[in-house]
Amino acid sequence: MSVEYDPATLEFERRARELLERSAEALPARTRSRLTRARYAALEGAAPRATAVGRGSWRRWLPAGAVSAAMLAVLLFVGHPHVPAVPQGSVAGGEDLELLADRDALALAQDQMGEGQAAPDQDADYDFYSWAVSAAQDEGNGPVGS
């Protein structure tokens, strides 16, 4: 496709180019500096973005935050969130925890257990009783050391 422009259009084109090129060359020093930093950051690859360039970028997250807050509000006030019933096992687990935390309670619970499940402390007591019985029998035969 070949397009022939009339002189007026060509003049318009020339003036527009001149204006735009001048505006690009006459950028403020601050903008030129930020462009230089942006170029360095790009060339350094993984370098963090220039803070000045990213200024105000927090606003990008504002809508997402608003939507999240709205959804949370809907869940809290409209959705009647379901509170699951605590299973019995969990209650028992809680009692276990209390027993473990309380040494006396643990000993009491162990006393309630069967003989076959005696705790090490109880084994020590039986040893003592066995020794006491044997000592008493020995006393029956005569004083010890006499």
Partner 1 sequence: MNAFVTLPADTASFLPLRNIDLQDSTQHDARSLERFLAGIERKAFRIAQIGLRHEDDALDAVQDAMLRLVRSYASRPPEEWKPLFYRILENCVRDMQRRRTVRGRVMSWLPWPAGEEGEEARDPLEQAPDPAPTPAAQVQTDETLRALDAVVAALPARQRQAFLLRNLEGMDVAATARAMGCSEGSVKTHYFRALQTLRAQLGAFWS
Binding site for partner 1 (CB under 8 A): 1-3, 5, 8-9, 12-13, 15-17, 19-28, 31-32, 34-36, 38-45, 49-50, 53-57, 59-60, 62-63, 66-67
Shortest Å distance, C-beta 90 to partner 1: 42
Residue 75's alpha-carbon distances to 63, 71, 130, in angstroms, are 18, 6, 67
Residue nearer to partner 1 on the CB measure, 51 or 141: 51
- Cα radius of gyration (the chain): 44
Shortest Å distance, C-beta 22 to partner 1: 7
Shortest Å distance, C-beta 78 to partner 1: 17
Residue nearer to partner 1 on the CB measure, 31 or 112: 31
Shortest Å distance, C-beta 67 to partner 1: 7
Residue nearer to partner 1 on the CB measure, 17 or 138: 17
